[in-house]
Amino acid sequence: MKLAPLVFSAFFSVCYATSSYAYDAESAKSYEKMFAPAVGAKTDSELHYIKADAVIKKILAKEDLVFLDVRTPAETAVFGMTLPNSLNIPVDQVFKPENLNRLPTDKTLIVICKSGTRASAIGTALRHVGFDKAYILRDGYQEFSKAYGSQEANPDESKAKEEPEKGKTKK
């Protein structure tokens, strides 16, 4: 009878140890394939990162772009994106079926957030599930508004700055 707790303990230890090293091998293979070409100078392009100046060139060339802003509603309330074809879907809502159905698979999709961190995760995951034209804006909305100009990136916000509220004087 004293052997039973020892056997149970050994069995539990083996089960616990093997489960902590388990991973989804099929997913790992698909990610291996996705990341394999991302070497050296080709890393940014292979991972679908795009710089603000390249996006601006696409806008000026009137390319058919869709912007996916994955910032929170609180962030977009302070400073939102008002470019044509802009969708605001917070990062925690993107992969709901009704929101995935809003995203085009046949157009260039530029994923954007404040700094690029959330956009990196969402853009990579979108490509993994079949959105091959999803690109990640490097350095996010901050860099984009510097390069493009806050007035163009958000005409409503720049207008608000130019027109003081009633009863307040412009300083």
If we measure between CA atoms, which residue out of 76, 125, 117, 60 comes closest to residue 99? 125
Domain map (residue ranges) of the chain:
39-162
Tell me the per-residue pLDDT of 26-72, one tens digit each, with 9 for 90 and over: 988 988 888 888 888 888 888 899 999 999 999 999 999 999 999 99
CATH class of this structure's domain 39-162: alpha beta
The pLDDT, as a whole number, for residue 153 is 53
Q: State how far the Cα of 152 lies from the Cα of 150, in Å rounded to an integer.
A: 5
Q: State how far the Cα of 150 lies from the Cα of 155, in Å rounded to an integer.
A: 7
- In this structure, are strands 49-50 and 86-88 parallel, antiparallel, or unpaired? unpaired
Q: Is the pLDDT higher at 169 or at 116?
A: 116
Instruction: Measure Cα distances from 57 to 61, 81, 82, 112, 151 in Å.
Output: 6, 18, 18, 17, 17
Q: Is the pLDDT of residue 151 over 60?
A: no
The pLDDT, as a whole number, for residue 102 is 97
Tell me the per-residue pLDDT of 71-87, one tens digit each, with 9 for 90 and over: 999 998 888 777 889 99
Mean pLDDT of all residues belonging to the chain: 80
Helix runs in the chain, H state only: 3-20, 25-35, 43-46, 52-60, 73-78, 97-100, 117-128, 140-148, 150-153, 155-162
